[in-house]
Structure 1
Amino acid sequence: MGKSVYEGRYTTENDQDIVIFIIGMRINKRRAIRKWVPVFLAMPGMIKELYQNQESLGFLSMESFFGLRTTAMISYWRSTDDLLAYSKGQKHLTAWKNFNKKIGNSNAVGIYHETYVVPKGSYESIYGNMPLYGLGKATKHIPVTAETISAKKRLEPAQTSITKPASR
């Protein structure tokens, strides 16, 4: 995948529901290499599987981050049904079983995940002189126009439904 920079300002259409799934690990005991390396090495195979089967799995895209002790992967999904179905798939179940077998209750390495279900119209984005990234890689990437020039305008439909009091 190329990293072509899109000059100027871009945003995304927010006309579809999206699921954002954040998963990662934290090395709690750096010297316990035998505990945390297998956890770290389980992820590349799953990432490869996701990209090879994007359409059928409902996986849209992902970004990865690596810190001194903590990793994070932000992934974008078509639906919670797709995400939950993947969690029951062979590659993920195998990794989960291996984690429980090798790590068990050891506090040498920690794992976490968070899931956010975001309704259409309830998110916005802006990218200036960037390659496709984040939601811009997961959804339709479009140039900024007069109608999408500000975050307020990009969120206007969602803000209208949230801020208007219910009629009596």
Structure 2
Amino acid sequence: MIDPIPRRMTADVDDDFVVFRIGIRLNKLWKVHEWLPVFLAMPRMLRELDADPDSGLLGYRTSFGIRNHTLTQFWRSFEELHAYAHDADREHVPAWERFVQRVSEGGDVGIWHETYRVRAGDHESVYVNMPPFGLGAATGLVPATGARATASERLGRTGDGATADEDGTDA
């Protein structure tokens, strides 16, 4: 277990990035033979991505429920995420084809995803007494001090809500 960092930290990321959320919903829990192969495809993909530091995957976090399981991934770019998803020589394309052929029409298992492009400066995070988590685990952490002390400052805002560029303080 990783110990909490006993101070205020923020994610150390100054570039654009992508948040990709993907999940599975077990609509019919008793139909293990239908949903288990779909469920087991994701760990294979994650092992493949973990083994390839040039894939563009920065990090990920899983959360499990009774019916719903969600994976949040952080990617360097949409182009790298898209390239992985469409590369027939990687795990995703065959897994998707198996899903479509086997269970997509039956309704026993559902899958979903959401993709968010995050522009540099259009995000903020804070972690207090936490081990590395979420975006901070994917990109690294720095102290939330100085120009990163408040949410407004981490977003490049001034006291009146304008960006530093808009009010001339960053000229």
Q: Is the 8 A contact 2:104 2:110 kept in 1?
A: no
* Deviation of 1:104 (Å): 3.2
TM-score normalized by structure 1?
0.89
* Deviation of 1:147 (Å): 2.1
Partner SS, residue 72 of structure 1: strand
Partner SS, residue 155 of structure 2: helix
Whole-angstrom distance in 1 between the partners of 2:94 and 2:3:
36
Structure 1 stretches of 4+ moved >4 Å? none
Match of 1:12 in 2: 11
Whole-angstrom distance in 1 between the partners of 2:30 and 2:140:
44
Whole-angstrom distance in 1 between the partners of 2:51 and 2:134:
18
Deviations 1:104-158 (A, max 9, x none): 3010000000000000000000011111111111223101113222111111259
Partner SS, residue 57 of structure 1: coil
The one-letter code of the counterpart of 1:134 is G
Match of 2:25 in 1: 26
Partner SS, residue 122 of structure 1: coil
Matching of residue 137 in structure 1 with residue 123 in structure 2: no
Cα RMSD of the aligned pairs, angstroms, is 2.1
Partner SS, residue 56 of structure 1: coil
* Deviation of 1:5 (Å): 2.3
* Deviation of 1:13 (Å): 3.1
Match of 1:160 in 2: 162
* Deviation of 1:96 (Å): 0.5
Whole-angstrom distance in 2 between the partners of 1:128 and 1:27:
34
Partner SS, residue 156 of structure 1: coil
Q: What count of residue pairs does the alignment treat as equivalent?
A: 163
Whole-angstrom distance in 2 between the partners of 1:43 and 1:11:
29
TM-score normalized by structure 2?
0.88
Identity of aligned residues (%): 38
Q: Is the 8 A contact 1:76 1:135 kept in 2?
A: yes
2:85 to 84, 87, 92: 87
Unaligned runs of 5+ in 2: none
Q: Is the 8 A contact 1:13 1:141 kept in 2?
A: yes
1:74 to 42, 50, 72: 72
Match of 1:59 in 2: 57
Q: Is the 8 A contact 1:121 1:157 kept in 2?
A: no
Match of 2:118 in 1: 118
Whole-angstrom distance in 2 between the partners of 1:39 and 1:115:
20
Whole-angstrom distance in 2 between the partners of 1:141 and 1:17:
16
Partner SS, residue 97 of structure 1: helix
Which structure shows the higher helix fraction?
1
Unaligned runs of 5+ in 1: none
